Chain A
């Protein structure tokens, strides 16, 4: 392993290696020095033995002399003398020049390799010894060479004399040599001790260096680790996205952001499969798709940037348990990114973003756009409507809203009372819708249509409580602000037109009061796929007294609309019946001879069917089966003026919803008027409203019901169309 591969362990490996090298060096040194000391100790021993050998040489000479004197066999002592001489000689030469020396005696096969002495003092002793020994060689050498048989007492005498004289000096030289050599050996031993001591100190120092540097480094690493963990935790705790890692098995990593916990409302994600997190949020097939998609990110050949559009979890709608303990709808966006380690994809980083606010804002923006468009539409319609008619409409709508509001405030009601409210509200809203439709104020028309839907839902519910009206209240509020902004808009426009064109002809505006009825018929007929021709007479402000303009328009609008929706048949049907495909509605207003006013709406449509009214009344529980059997045709026909009666089989924008004629009845009653209805099946229908010539201001409100409505008895005349 190369040193740079060791990374942070490089230092410690280097220190240990240094320690081992140092140790090996010291041991090697120790080995060699010890070996040298051993050799020197042996040399010292040999030098010591030389001292002994000088004595032994003299002693063997004396013994030889004794043997010769008494004529004993000299062989043994001579041999000892010769051996002693030889051993001393070999040893001394070896001490001077180096060489092999027998260990015990001259015949010993075991030999020691003796190095020449190398200290000054020892060399002097060896040289002095050798010089003196030369005399011994000269005297004793020939004797030994001659052998034991030739030895004479005289020779030995002379030898003893010489040896005796110099022996002490030779002994001194040898003793000196021994001492010097001992001294040298001691010095080496001491040096060895110093080296060992130094080695121990170095080892201890090395140990402390290792300890100091590496414990320090370890501590620093630990601190860094702790710091990075802390920073990590801070990041994961603060980041606004849910963050976590997924491995190839799609298992969630041990660290994830706090936001993830907040979003999913669960803590136990560590080590769980992604499926556990997603299974309650997406369908099984979507989950499979998501897992396959993430699988792609682990495939190196796939380009990460080129698969983003396939992400099945780019935006999902989920219902999660919120902090309040209730389920909340959230919009979550999941992003998946590769995490590469050593250029290989090791994990996928998942970023979960709660996009609820953005999505809701987008929706609000969309709504605002629609509203703005509605306002423009309103503006366009306001510009084409006569001001007083529009103000009338706004006043009436405001009155209606206020009335509903008052009713909603009264609490502690039962189902029956609430049901009555619903019916009353339906009437009011329907009436506002009728006006809006006539004036072509489409946003209000749309809103009131929605409100009718809500009311129908309430009406169809098993048990009506105060809470049932909540969705309706919301819509009512929206309608209220719609009316408010329309009023503001009309005032602003009025200001502009006051400033720029104060010379608007009054006559034109008067005829406009009823012009809307024409466009209403056109529009409703278009929506209902019918062909209708409207003929009006006297429906203008020349003929209608100002006090009746609002009422006449209101009634005419509802009746004309009813005629289009319920009366006139579809072109095919009309052709089948032998009529022209285009139906005709006549609306006329005139002052009668008796001073009263008459509004007549005549159509050449289907007329009324008693059986259909019967069936419908029974279906809607307006009467019981028993009662209806006893009722006359007139009484049955009267049922169509009951709140909640409708003959339209499906509910469209224009068709009735159980309100209509009762509203008209109410309106006519308020003015103290009367209503006549006549019809002939498949021929048509005729409504006549008679309003008193003497106009009285009325204080009656929407919710007053008076069963004594002055509806003239129905007859079966052919309608004069």
Chain B
């Protein structure tokens, strides 16, 4: 399973990278904005993508649309703050599979990955 981490905060990127469950996955890259994320999806063809919603260059919603155009079966986990529920719901409506809110614990992140990988 290939994982791409998209977040503009390197603390969050590191936290995701270090979680247990991610240890079983192959992290193929990390991006800190939407443009980079789409480019990396083209190059690395990941199975899973963790996606922040508020990022410079290209926001999460647009990135999700582009990523799913490139690779429609990508499983996208939105990792964002709860403040803007509407944007999170929009992200899920257009194709993201799940959501966890920042700040998250390692257990929450592991559970989320387990749920995402359930039927693969």
Which residues in A have some Cβ–Cβ distance to B below 8 Å?
A: 285, 289, 292-293, 295-296, 299, 301-303, 305-307, 309-310, 312
Which residues on A sit within 8 Å (CB–CB) of B99? 306-307, 309-310
Q: For the complex, is B95 an interface residue (Cβ under 8 Å from A)?
A: yes
Which residues on A sit within 8 Å (CB–CB) of B90? 292
Contact of B93 among A296, A303, A309 (CB under 8 A): A296
Which residues on A sit within 8 Å (CB–CB) of B112? 306
Contact of A302 among B82, B86, B92 (CB under 8 A): B92
Identify the interface centre among A292, A302, A303, A305: most chain B CB within 10 Å of its CB. Answer: A303
Q: For the complex, is B100 an interface residue (Cβ under 8 Å from A)?
A: yes
Which residues on B sit within 8 Å (CB–CB) of A296? 89, 92-93
Q: Is the CB of B101 within 8 A of A306?
A: no
Q: Is the CB of B97 within 8 A of A309?
A: no
Which residues on B sit within 8 Å (CB–CB) of A302? 92, 96-98
Contact of B82 among A289, A292, A306, A309 (CB under 8 A): A309
Q: Is the CB of B86 within 8 A of A292?
A: yes
In the complex, number of A-B residue pairs with CB atoms less than 8 Å apart: 51
In the complex the two chains form, what is the Cα distance from A285 to B86 in whole Å? 9
Given known contacts A299-B92, A303-B115, A306-B115, is B97 in contact with A312 (CB within 8 Å)?
A: no
- Chain A interface mostly helix, strand, loop or mixed? helix
Q: For the complex, is B27 an interface residue (Cβ under 8 Å from A)?
A: no
- 7 contacts across the A-B interface (CB closer than 8 A): A285-B86, A289-B86, A292-B86, A302-B96, A306-B98, A306-B115, A309-B100
Q: Is the CB of B115 within 8 A of A307?
A: no
Which residues on A sit within 8 Å (CB–CB) of B93? 292, 295-296, 299
Scan B98-120; emit 1 where CB is below 8 A from any A CB, else 0. Answer: 11110000000000100110100
In the complex the two chains form, what is the Cα distance from A307 to B77 in whole Å? 10
In the complex the two chains form, what is the Cα distance from A310 to B101 in whole Å? 9
Q: Is the CB of B85 within 8 A of A307?
A: no
In the complex the two chains form, what is the Cα distance from A293 to B91 in whole Å? 11
Contact of B101 among A292, A301, A309, A312 (CB under 8 A): A309
Q: Is the CB of B89 within 8 A of A289?
A: yes
Q: Is the CB of A305 within 8 A of B89?
A: no
Which residues on B sit within 8 Å (CB–CB) of A309? 82, 99-101
Nearest-neighbour CB distance to chain A for B96, whole angstroms, equals: 8
Q: For the complex, is B38 an interface residue (Cβ under 8 Å from A)?
A: no
Q: Can you name the residue of chain B whose Cβ is closest to the Cβ of A291?
A: B89
Q: Is the CB of A301 within 8 A of B88?
A: no
Given known contacts A289-B86, A289-B89, is B95 in contact with A305 (CB within 8 Å)?
A: no
In the complex the two chains form, what is the Cα distance from A435 to B95 in whole Å? 65
Q: Can you name the residue of chain B whose Cβ is closest to the Cβ of A305?
A: B115
Q: Can you name the residue of chain A whose Cβ is closest to the Cβ of B86?
A: A289
In the complex the two chains form, what is the Cα distance from A305 to B88 in whole Å? 15
Nearest-neighbour CB distance to chain A for B48, whole angstroms, equals: 12
Q: Is the CB of A310 within 8 A of B116?
A: no
Nearest-neighbour CB distance to chain B for A379, whole angstroms, equals: 37
Q: Is the CB of A307 within 8 A of B101?
A: no
Which residues on B sit within 8 Å (CB–CB) of A307? 92, 98-99
In the complex the two chains form, what is the Cα distance from A296 to B88 in whole Å? 11
In the complex the two chains form, what is the Cα distance from A508 to B92 in whole Å? 72
Scan B25-63; emit 1 where CB is below 8 A from any A CB, else 0. Answer: 000000000000000000000000000000000000000
Q: Can you name the residue of chain B whose Cβ is closest to the Cβ of A308?
A: B99
Q: Is the CB of A292 within 8 A of B89?
A: yes
Which residues on B sit within 8 Å (CB–CB) of A289? 85-86, 89
Which residues on B sit within 8 Å (CB–CB) of A295? 93
Which residues on A sit within 8 Å (CB–CB) of B98? 302-303, 305-307
In the complex the two chains form, what is the Cα distance from A302 to B99 in whole Å? 9
Given known contacts A292-B86, A312-B85, is B77 in contact with A306 (CB within 8 Å)?
A: yes
Q: Can you name the residue of chain B whose Cβ is closest to the Cβ of A303?
A: B98
Given known contacts A296-B92, A299-B92, is B85 in contact with A306 (CB within 8 Å)?
A: no
Q: Is the CB of A306 within 8 A of B88?
A: no
Q: Given A306-B112, A312-B85, 4 more contacts at CB 8 Å?
A: A302-B96, A303-B115, A305-B115, A307-B99
Nearest-neighbour CB distance to chain A for B68, whole angstroms, equals: 10
Which residues on B sit within 8 Å (CB–CB) of A301? 95, 97
Shortest 3 CB-CB distances between A and B: which pairs? Answer: A306-B98, A303-B98, A292-B89
In the complex the two chains form, what is the Cα distance from A295 to B92 in whole Å? 10
Identify the interface centre among B82, B88, B90: most chain A CB within 10 Å of its CB. Answer: B88
In the complex the two chains form, what is the Cα distance from A306 to B109 in whole Å? 10
In the complex the two chains form, what is the Cα distance from A293 to B90 in whole Å? 9
In the complex the two chains form, what is the Cα distance from A299 to B93 in whole Å? 8
Q: Can you name the residue of chain B whose Cβ is closest to the Cβ of A312?
A: B85
Q: Is the CB of B97 within 8 A of A310?
A: no
Q: Is the CB of A310 within 8 A of B89?
A: yes
Q: Is the CB of A306 within 8 A of B97?
A: yes
Nearest-neighbour CB distance to chain B for A400, whole angstroms, equals: 48
Which residues on A sit within 8 Å (CB–CB) of B97? 301-303, 306
Which residues on B sit within 8 Å (CB–CB) of A285? 86
